[in-house]
Amino acid sequence: EGVLPQEYTALKLKVVEWAPQAAEALKGKIPEDSSVYLCPATLRPETMYGQVCCFVGPSLSYGVFRASDKEYFVITERAARNMAYQGIFEKEGVPEKAADIKGSDLIGTLVNAPLSFHPQVRVLPMDTVLATKGTGVVTSVPSDSPDDYAMITELAKKADFYGIKKEWAELEIFPIIQTPTSDLLAPHLVKKLKIASPKDAKQLQEAKELAYKEGFYQGVMKVGDFKGEKVEVAKPKVREQLIKQGEAFAYSE
């Protein structure tokens, strides 16, 4: 972990329809009149227009934590403890867990994706999601994240192996940010560096660094309310907008 605190934006992806295994695991544990959200932590809130799915680690353990009377968050226990001390939950101190759920049981759940051109997306598996970072939930933006592009391509190719429906991994990838090189920077870099799968960790690390630098310092928004503005300028504005609309909150660690 770094020395400086990482300022994440945690999104609220509202569950629209649980996967059958998740519905079974949660039966009777969450009040009927409340909303449940998967809460991915991101450093790139300005890319949220490009969400195509939401990743969880299939072998990770998650909890459904009570944020308020009407709202529950699906995150790791570790993130819940941090949130409980950051004033994110109604009650400070020890987080209240309504249920336990395994990542693999969440696969196939349908969620709302704030700002995305795809208003509803599926929860899909990604083995490289770390339990020790963020919330253990990662929203997928393949236009601008090489990791996300490599994983969604893999899922579409091997849908049966991963136990998902192919069409869940085949949503259109729209250009979100224009850079001097491309308006689909992550797919461009994945092809250029000949990355064949999410297991090509070394090349993916390189692609990630290149994408982050070029996207952040030379990128211009192609879509949304801040279209035409530099990414550096638009990023805090999109973040504020999401927070104001109750679709995200600040989370740090």
By the rule CB under 6 A, 61 interacts with ligand A2H: no
Say whether residue 130 binds ligand A2H (CB under 6 A): yes
Question: How many Å apart are CA 238 and CA 221, to the nearest integer?
Answer: 11
Q: How many CB atoms lie within 10 A of CB 230?
A: 15
- The span from the CA of 81 to the CA of 88, in Å, is 10
Q: Is 239 a binder of ligand A2H (CB under 6 A)? A: no
Report the alpha-carbon distance of residue 108 to residue 123 in Å, rounded.
5
Q: How far is the CB of 33 from ligand A2H (least distance, A)?
A: 30
Place of tokens 């994983």: 151
State phi, psi for 164 to the nearest 5 degrees.
Answer: -125, 165
Identify the CA nearest to 39 among candidates 5, 79, 87, 70: 79
Pull the structure tokens for residue 147. 């990791």
Using rule CB under 6 A, residue 44 touches ligand A2H: yes
Kindly determine how many residues on this chain lie close enough to bind ligand A2H according to the rule CB under 6 A: 20
C-alpha distances (whole Å) from 182 to each of 117, 186, 214 are: 20, 9, 10
CA angle 74, 148, 232 (to 5 degrees): 90
- Strands in 41-42's sheet, in edge-to-edge order, are 41-42, 7-11, 248-252
Alpha-carbon gap, residue 103 to 123, rounded angstroms: 9
Q: Is 148 in the site for ligand A2H (CB under 6 A)?
A: yes
| Contacting residue, 78, 81, 133, 222, with ligand A2H by CB under 6 A | 133
* Nearer residue to ligand A2H within complex by CB, 3 or 160: 3
Instruction: Please tell me the distance from the alpha carbon of residue 238 to that of residue 247, in angstroms, as a whole number.
Output: 11
Residues 149-208 that bind ligand A2H (CB under 6 A): 208
Binds ligand A2H by CB under 6 A, chosen from 64, 113, 141, 231: 141
Q: Which stretch binds ligand A2H (CB under 6 A): 30-38, 108-116, 127-135, 165-173?
A: 127-135
Q: Quick one: which of 109, 112, 139, 241 contacts ligand A2H (CB under 6 A)?
A: 139
47 binds ligand A2H (CB under 6 A): yes
Under rule CB under 6 A, residue 242 binds ligand A2H: no
| Binding of residue 145 to ligand A2H (CB under 6 A) | yes
Of the listed pieces 14-22, 30-38, 87-95, 143-151, which binds ligand A2H according to CB under 6 A? 143-151
Q: Quick check: 145 and 211 in contact, CB under 8 A?
A: yes
- Closest approach of Cβ 21 to ligand A2H, in Å? 22
Q: Which residue is nearest to ligand A2H (CB)?
A: 134
Q: Which residues bind ligand A2H (CB under 6 A)?
A: 6, 41-44, 47, 129-130, 133-134, 136, 138-141, 144-145, 148, 208, 212
